[in-house]
Amino acid sequence: MTGEPTIGITMGDPAGVGPEVICRALADLTPTERARIVVFGTGHVLKRANTLVGAGLSFAGSDARDGNVRIIDVPPPDTGAIADGAVSAAAGACSHAYIVRAVEAALARDIDVIVTAPINKEALHAAGHRFDGHTELLAHLTGAKSSFMLLASETLSTIHVSTHVSLSGAIARATPERELATIEVGNAFLKRLGIARPRIAVAGLNPHGGENGLFGRDEIERIVPAIEAARRNGIDVTGPLPGDSVFLRAVKGEFDLVVAQYHDQGHIPTKLIAFDTTINVSLGLPILRVSVDHGTAFDIAWTGRAHHANMSAAIAYARRIAADRP
């Protein structure tokens, strides 16, 4: 690739708010910025959203001159009708098709980073694609052995040892090997963003970080060995720290990144602090992917009321990490 990075945006579930927030976010960009973006989706759906929200965009196939938005019009699988704001196999099939096409482009280096609008897991499953979410699907499509979810905002960043599994599954997933891999991936990513020596904190799994075995030995047997190994490798890592205080310490500037042990441990503080601007970054893949950190919002989809701040933040972050790509 030459010149400025190219960003590919997948349209997400066509029954959800994805098309609306994409159009609003693109309308806020300059023509030059839009020229480096291509949307993978269904053209007539995106154009309908453009009219609905009054974004005033113009569209083209490959010609991005004059501020046109380039569309890779992915033919929708013939799986039935799609109703606004409703779960359907047809919408799930479309979501899957957009992602597949964008991953192909990213692997071929035709685009530098993917930004994903929200999909609906139930619709994805109804279409026969039984993945727990975007990250798991992307790992499957790229052949990645593992992947990691990082939530980033100006205030707080967290990386998760596990995400879309049950709480009992999350405990089982917290092995020394996975703990160490999570620390290492988070450290490498922050160094790539320009932090010479990232300060990483690891949250405990049990209340009060286990209280030296009083509330369980998971920290002693699973987390501490990983922290010690990371330190031997030169990583500045602290923990395990109580989950009820470590995030506040990070917000106050003591740490650059918190390793959260499971989905809600990391998501709740991050969304509480920066719900509209927190974005999701998939690490451990051979491609770059950034996502909004909200769902399809079927209750307000296609009413013109969807707020696009999160999509704008995702696009801005994608431009940042794509520009830094080795």
Distance from first CA to last CA of the chain, Å, rounded? 11
Q: Do 69 and 34 meet the contact criterion of CB atoms below 8 Å apart?
A: yes
Number of other residues whose CB lies within 10 A of the CB of residue 159: 25
**Lowest-confidence pick of 19-23, 57-61, 307-311:** 57-61
Residue-wise pLDDT tens digits, 80-109: 789 999 999 999 999 999 999 999 999 999
Rounded Cα gap, residues 212 and 222, in angstroms: 13
Q: Is pLDDT above 80 for 4?
A: no
Task: Say if 1-147+284-326 and 148-275 have the same CATH topology.
Answer: yes
d(CA 59, CA 22): 13
> How much is the pTM?
0.88
pLDDT at residue 14 tops 90: yes
Taking CA atoms, 137 is separated from 52, 96, 243, in Å, by 30, 9, 29
CB 269 within 8 A of CB 247: yes
Interval 163-215: pLDDT, tens: 888 999 999 999 999 999 999 999 999 998 889 999 999 999 999 887 887 88
Contact indicator for 169, 162 with CB cutoff of 8 Å: yes
CA dihedral of 75, 307, 148, 142, whole degrees rounded to 10: 10
Q: What is the pLDDT of residues 102-140, one digit of tens each?
A: 999 999 999 999 999 999 999 999 999 999 888 889 999
Element (H, E) at 323: helix 309-323
Query: What would the CATH number be for the domain defined by 148-275?
Result: 3.40.718.10
Number of CB atoms found within 10 A of residue 175's CB: 15
- 27-32 long-range contacts, CB within 8 A, separation 24+: 27/53, 27/55, 27/56, 27/57, 28/308, 28/312, 29/315, 30/67, 31/66, 31/67
CB 287 within 8 A of CB 281: no
pLDDT at residue 2 in the model: 44
pLDDT in tens, 221-240: 999 999 999 999 999 999 99
Break the chain into its structural domains and give their ranges.
1-147+284-326, 148-275
Cis before 225 (ω within 30): no
Amino acid 102: pLDDT = 97
Residue 65 pLDDT > 90:
no
pLDDT at 1: 41
What does the pLDDT read at residue 277?
A: 87
* CA nearest to 140, candidates 320, 304, 314, 284: 284
Res. 3 pLDDT band, cuts 50 70 90: low
**Average of per-residue pLDDT values in the chain:** 92
Q: How far is CA 17 from the centre of its chain?
A: 16
Give, as one character, the DSSP assignment of residue 223.
Answer: I
Q: What is the CATH number of domain 1-147+284-326?
A: 3.40.718.10
Residue 249 has what pLDDT? 97
Instruction: Measure the CA–CA gap between 258 and 274, rounded to whole angstroms.
Output: 15
Closest of 192, 193, 201, 190 to residue 261, by C-alpha? 201
